[in-house]
Structure 1
Amino acid sequence: MKKIILSTLLVVALVSCKKEAEKTEENISMTDSADIVVPEPVAANASLKSLSTQQTTDFLQKKNDTLYVTNFFATWCGPCVREIPHFKKKIEELKDKPVKITFVSLDQKQVWNTEVPRFTQEHGIQDHTILVDGQLLDQNFFASNFKQWDGGAIPFTFMRKGDKTDETLGMMSEEQLNEKINSFLK
């Protein structure tokens, strides 16, 4: 039963992100080229740093009294974008607590210096975002770091405090996020 539920969640997440990408492409193709405004390139933000696969694994496996909440997203993923405000609110609420919320952008490398910095600044998460080249993440990476996630869909949120972990595939509501974080802070 658990496998059926997880499979269903995975399919829903994949379809949601795919539909968002198709909507964006459809809107672009339906727009007159004279109406398209190309944004000015954004200089790479010094706070956006990239991590290698090993550095990402080291980060994910930190075990101490801090709660690490890591949200894997991409700028083009609608469900990812919709849950960002919930995480931002928690960052503000928990700024004096031993909680570290980090966004991991899995966007393609060619937009690391343009779209990703613009997006993170627009959403106010530039100081909490790291870049990971998703092309380098193989099945060994996923099997070594996660019980459920195989990298097939986003958003994905991983929480760790000491030896306790939690994995959520798909978009989280504000209530779900609060409940999960509170369960770690008890």
Structure 2
Amino acid sequence: MNRKILVFCVVALIAVVAGIAFYGYRDQASSATTEPGPELNFSLPDLQDVPQPMSQWRGKILLVNFWATWCPPCLKEIPEFVKLQTEYQDRGVQFVGIALEDKQPVLDYQSRMKVNYPLLIGGEDAAMLAQRLGNVINTVPFTVIVDPQGKIVHRQLGELSREKILEVIQPLLKPN
């Protein structure tokens, strides 16, 4: 009996330490700021197979969201992104969705949901791109917020709330 309790306690301790390490990294990664660099210098095709360079949005507050149609938290946050894109586009905010899958499911989703910001197809390469941007645990959704100077000011592993977006972008917004 004592041996079972000891094994249970060791396993519980390992789980607690792993949880603390994960949340510590998540908090550190989500608030980290980096200098602009080559990680934001890429181009991906849109739903019409036209390459879209990220440089076209330089000077804007950019929210780059890595997502997939098979990801329930991703689909949950997109309607709020659509609202925020409408509300804040005139103040220099631009959302860009990068799908971690093939084009057809994204086309089907777009035809149903009418997403009002660019959806790019990243496929398998998008996971490596997300990793370069700070998604070290390879999760979706994953979002980076970039200031108008091209610096990453926020990384979000997992779902991103309206409140958190506004907290990060408010100081960066152009006046009305």
| TM-score normalised by L of structure 1 | 0.60
Is residue 124 of structure 1 aligned with residue 123 of structure 2?
no
CA distance in 2, matches of 1:130, 1:97: 23
Q: 2:136 is matched with which residue?
A: 150
Q: 2:39 is matched with which residue?
A: none
Q: 1:23 is matched with which residue?
A: none
What displacement does 1:63 show? Answer: 8.1
CA distance in 2, matches of 1:89, 1:118: 20
CA distance in 1, matches of 2:127, 2:142: 16
Q: 2:23 is matched with which residue?
A: 5
Is residue 171 of structure 1 aligned with residue 159 of structure 2?
yes
Contact 1:88 1:125 (C-alpha < 8 Å) held by counterparts: yes
CA distance in 1, matches of 2:171, 2:135: 21
How many residue pairs get matched?
A: 137
2:85 alignment partner, SS class: helix
Matches within 5 A, 1:108-119: 109=102, 112-113=103-104, 115-119=105-109
Q: Select 2:60's aligned residue among 47, 66, 69.
A: 66
What displacement does 1:67 show? Answer: 1.1
Question: 1:179 is aligned with what amino acid?
Answer: E
1:5-60 deviation digits (Å, cap 9, x = unpaired): 15578xxxxxxxxxxxxxxxxxxxxxxxxxxxxxxxxxxxx9614588xx7xx62x
Cα distance change, pair 119–64 in 1 and its aligned pair in 2 (3 A)? closer
CA distance in 2, matches of 1:154, 1:174: 17
Ranges in structure 2 where 5+ consecutive residues have no aligned partner: 1-18, 28-44
Cα distance change, pair 5–168 in 1 and its aligned pair in 2 (3 A)? same
Cα distance change, pair 185–126 in 1 and its aligned pair in 2 (3 A)? closer
What percent of counterpart residues are identical? 23
What displacement does 1:97 show? Answer: 2.2
Matches within 5 A, 1:1-186: 3-6=21-24, 48-50=47-49, 59=54, 64-107=58-101, 109=102, 112-113=103-104, 115-125=105-115, 127-134=117-124, 136-137=125-126, 141-142=129-130, 145-146=132-133, 148-150=134-136, 152-161=138-147, 162-165=149-152, 166-185=154-173
Q: 2:9 is matched with which residue?
A: none
Contact 1:67 1:159 (C-alpha < 8 Å) held by counterparts: yes
Ranges in structure 1 where 5+ consecutive residues have no aligned partner: 10-45
Contact 2:145 2:155 (C-alpha < 8 Å) held by counterparts: yes
CA distance in 1, matches of 2:116, 2:46: 7
Cα distance change, pair 83–6 in 1 and its aligned pair in 2 (3 A)? farther
Question: 2:120 is aligned with what amino acid?
Answer: I
2:69 alignment partner, SS class: coil
CA distance in 2, matches of 1:5, 1:99: 29
